[in-house]
Amino acid sequence: MASIKLVPFEEELKKNPELKESDIQILREWCKKQTYLPKMSDSELTLFLHSNYYQLEPTKTTIDIFFTVRTHVPEFFCNRDLINDKEVKKATKTM
């Protein structure tokens, strides 16, 4: 996720009343227990939380699935040439 320019967590916390620092702390603690997950910044955790409407359990599921798929199907996440790669074109047409 490093290629995405993230809004600093403190800024997001100030402007978004739905975001709670306690939720980020809960996610941090949960992530530590999931030894296969990489270390994530608070801003990255905020993106996952936001994408799940600030609900903790769906956020945990999304994080888990994201990194599982990223591990098993890395071609979905890097070196994608949507214009020239025939396999990628075929896959996107199928989806």
pLDDT at 80 over 70: no
34-52, pLDDT tens digit by residue?
999 999 999 999 999 999 9
Instruction: Report how many domains make up the chain.
Output: 1
Please report whether residue 1 resides in a domain: no
Q: What was the pLDDT predicted at 2?
A: 46
Please indicate whether residue 78 or residue 2 has the higher confidence score (pLDDT): 78
Contact assessment for residue 45 and residue 8, using Cβ atoms and an 8 Å cutoff: no
Please report whether residue 77 resides in a domain: yes
Please report whether residue 2 resides in a domain: no
> Using alpha carbons only, how large is the chain's radius of gyration in Å?
16
**Full domain range(s) for residue 65:** 9-94
Whole-prediction pTM:
0.76
How far is it, in rounded angstroms, from Cα 95 to Cα 93?
5
Please report whether residue 13 resides in a domain: yes
Q: Three-state DSSP class for 65?
A: helix
Q: What was the pLDDT predicted at 82?
A: 66
Q: What was the pLDDT predicted at 89?
A: 73
Please report whether residue 3 resides in a domain: no
Contact assessment for residue 62 and residue 48, using Cβ atoms and an 8 Å cutoff: yes
Please report whether residue 75 resides in a domain: yes
